[in-house]
Structures are given as C-alpha cells and as structure tokens.
C-alpha cells in the first residue's frame, strides 16, 4: 500500500504507468493544483494505451516526447521506470510525504471504507476504476461512489439514465475487484423544498445515499432547518453531507456556515437513522467542532468521509479522523468502522 511512504523503499520499482499514477497520487494527496497532476495522469493513460510493440520500440529509441501529451518531465519518469529504477521525482515525493492527521491514526486504522467519493462521471478527475483501485490499495474493504445528482449541472450531475449506466458498470467492476466492494451511491442535492434531486425508486436501489445542500445556502434559518429535516427524514437518505456548507480555506475562498437549528436537524438525524458526515476535505472541515460535539451529545451516528475528487484525496480521511478523535467521537458511533454487510444492514433499518 503506497500510503506508507517510508516503508515502501524495499518494494520493486514500479513500471512506467504505475510510477506516473503514483506521482499523481502523491501530488493530489499533497493538495497540488490539478493541472500539475493532470500531466502525470494523462501520460499514464497514454503509455497504458500503447501496444507491446510500440512500447518496446519507444523504449529502445527513447523518443517518448514524440507522443502528444508527454513532455520532458513525464518522459524522464518513463525512462527511469523502464530502466527498472524508482524514478527520481517519485522517490522525492515518497520521501517528502508526511502522515495525515497523526492524532487520528488509530481511528483511521479502524475505518473499513469511505462513503463519499466522486469520479469523472460528475466533477471528479479520475475514472471509477482508478478511484476504487486506489481505495483498495489504501486498505479499504469498500468504497461508495457518490457522484452528483442532475440539477448540479456545474458538476455534470448524473441523470437517472446515466446513473443506471453507472450501476451496470459498477456491477462489472465489482466482479473484477472482489472481495473489495464498490458500493453504489449518490450525493443527492437537497432541493429548495427539502425534496431530493433523483427518482425515489432509483434512490431505493442504491447502497449509500448522501444528501447535501449545494444551492440556496443563505436561506433563512427556518427554511434551511425545514429543508434539512425533510431530507434527513427521507427513508432513502443515509448520510447528511457537509451540513453547514462552510469553506474555511482554499482556492474557492471562504464561505460562512448556513444558518439552521442544529438541535432540530440532529434530532431528526438520530430519530431517522441518518449519519452526520465529518467531511475530511481541508477546505471544508465540516461540521465545525461545536456541532460535532452537539451531534455526539444528541446521540447521532457519524460517517468520516473524504469527499475525494481524485485518488490521492482518498488519503485525506486522516484529517477527519483527527477531528473525530479531538471531539471524542467513539469508533462505534462511526458507521464506516463497520463491515460492508453490517453497514448495509444499518442503511436498511433507517432509524428507531
């Protein structure tokens, strides 16, 4: 598992495709700008698409840069990997990687999966297979794919038809990746009236439904409380995503918390068996500590999720774990410490 950088030195050197992808992983994990990461991921795809003949010819001729999308930096990585050594840039990234959320390490070791991730079917940067392959490499037993719902057009949200196609693809992928399990899912928008942005029969088929507010974040307190309670009480909803909508840092700027009556919303979460998400993204850190503590006191359950939009971001779970530990959330109140079967049993129960 490549997340433990210092321990990996004894492993055989990766081939060119694996080396380029691992560079992508470390850059994403380190919160690098996506355009820097893209060059490496694109180069990996290009090399992966070559047939054996062409690979051999280019290895001998060392003319990788003739290929559109391969520049001097990616060519150097390919050449070093072809020579059977760990490319210098990859070795540097491995050596420079620091543990994420050290205070949460024990809890992180108990998490068996991630319940909120995105692929390039909506606004993520990588194909489903790469996201899930990385989740498995990080030691997860399962990972839910929760791409956006149709009305979030800026994020290329999935129509019912596209989501159905995605379910077929996941069924095939599950056959390949077993015993690792890709859980089907969605991050469904909570609409202005609290209803959900996808057909109820389709939501009923999914393993994990994360419901989040992405629009009208400045609704007044009563309206927002009503919207959220209505969504949380929906029998298909399993997790309430990034509940305050705040942004505390990063390229998108900052955004204040939405205004809602947290006691009423968390009581609905407890009553209807909807987990409160602890969103691990560094720019979200949502909910804030005081609300994690309130939800805990009120008897809610939690999901520590990454909301990853790239494979390397799947390793951000440590940030959320550190926050859960700081707020003294016990592991048995975190639904993704459970096995996939226990988790799916829990989602079927839906509250007391």
* Site residues (vs Zn ion, CB under 5 A): 187, 212, 307
Q: What is the DSSP letter of 163?
A: H
CA 77 to chain centre: 27
11: how many CB neighbours lie within 10 A of its CB?
Answer: 9
Cβ closest to Zn ion, residue 67 vs residue 131: 131
Residue 302: strand pairing partners: 276, 334
Residue 177 tokens, joined? 């990746």
Shortest Å, Cβ 152 to Zn ion: 8
Shortest Å, Cβ 282 to Zn ion: 14
Buried residues in 24-48 as b, exposed as e (16+ CB within 10 A) = bbbbbbeebeeeebebbbbbbebbe
Shortest Å, Cβ 118 to Zn ion: 6
Shortest Å, Cβ 168 to Zn ion: 22
Residue 312 to residue 310: CA distance in whole angstroms: 6
Cβ closest to Zn ion, residue 46 vs residue 314: 314
Cβ closest to Zn ion, residue 28 vs residue 307: 307
Residue 46 to residue 15: CA distance in whole angstroms: 14
Cβ closest to Zn ion, residue 47 vs residue 135: 135
Shortest Å, Cβ 52 to Zn ion: 39
- What are the backbone dihedrals phi and psi of residue 115, each rounded to the nearest 5 degrees, phi first? -115, 10
Residue 28 to residue 276: CA distance in whole angstroms: 26
Shortest Å, Cβ 247 to Zn ion: 11
Strand order in the sheet with 113-114: 113-114, 142-144, 181-183
Burial class (CB in 10 A: 0-12, 13-18, 19+), 223: middle
Q: What is the DSSP letter of 245?
A: -
**Given the structure tokens 């959220």, which residue do they identify?**
228
Cβ closest to Zn ion, residue 17 vs residue 211: 211
**Given the structure tokens 């939009």, which residue do they identify?**
309
Cβ closest to Zn ion, residue 16 vs residue 194: 194
Cβ closest to Zn ion, residue 44 vs residue 310: 310
Shortest Å, Cβ 243 to Zn ion: 11
């Amino acid at each position: 598992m490549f997340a433990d950088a210092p321990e990996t030195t004894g492993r055989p050197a990766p081939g060119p495709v694996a080396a380029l992808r691992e560079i992508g992983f470390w850059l994403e994990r380190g919160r690098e700008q996506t355009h820097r990461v893209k060059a490496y991921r694109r180069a990996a795809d290009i090399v992966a698409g070559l047939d054996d003949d062409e690979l051999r010819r280019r290895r001998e001729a060392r003319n990788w840069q003739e290929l559109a999308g391969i520049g001097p930096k990616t060519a150097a990585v390919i050449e070093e990997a072809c020579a059977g050594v760990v490319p210098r840039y990859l070795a540097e990234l491995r050596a420079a990687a620091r543990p994420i959320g050290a205070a949460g390490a024990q809890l992180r070791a108990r998490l068996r999966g991630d319940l909120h991730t995105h692929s390039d079917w909506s606004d993520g940067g990588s194909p489903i297979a790469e996201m899930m392959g990385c989740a498995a490499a990080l030691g997860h037993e399962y990972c839910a794919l929760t791409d956006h719902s149709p009305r979030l057009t800026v994020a290329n949200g999935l129509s019912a038809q596209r989501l159905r196609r995605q379910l077929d693809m996941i069924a095939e992928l599950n056959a390949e990746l077993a015993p690792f399990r890709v859980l089907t899912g969605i991050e469904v928008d909570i609409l202005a009236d609290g209803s959900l942005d996808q057909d109820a029969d389709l939501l009923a088929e999914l393993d994990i439904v994360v419901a989040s507010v992405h629009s009208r974040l400045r609704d007044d307190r009563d309206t927002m409380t009503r919207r959220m309670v209505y969504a949380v009480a929906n029998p298909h909803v399993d997790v309430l995503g990034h509940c305050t909508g705040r942004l505390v840092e990063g390229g998108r700027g900052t955004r204040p918390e939405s205004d809602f009556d947290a006691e009423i919303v968390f009581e609905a979460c407890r009553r209807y068996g909807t987990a409160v998400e602890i969103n691990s993204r560094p720019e979200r850190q949502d909910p804030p500590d005081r609300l994690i503590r309130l939800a805990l006191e009120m008897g809610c359950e939690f999901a520590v999720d990454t909301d990853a939009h790239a494979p390397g971001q799947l390793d951000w779970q440590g940030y959320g774990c550190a926050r859960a530990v700081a707020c003294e959330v016990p592991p048995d109140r975190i639904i993704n410490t459970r096995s996939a079967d226990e988790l799916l049993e829990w989602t079927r129960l839906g509250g007391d």
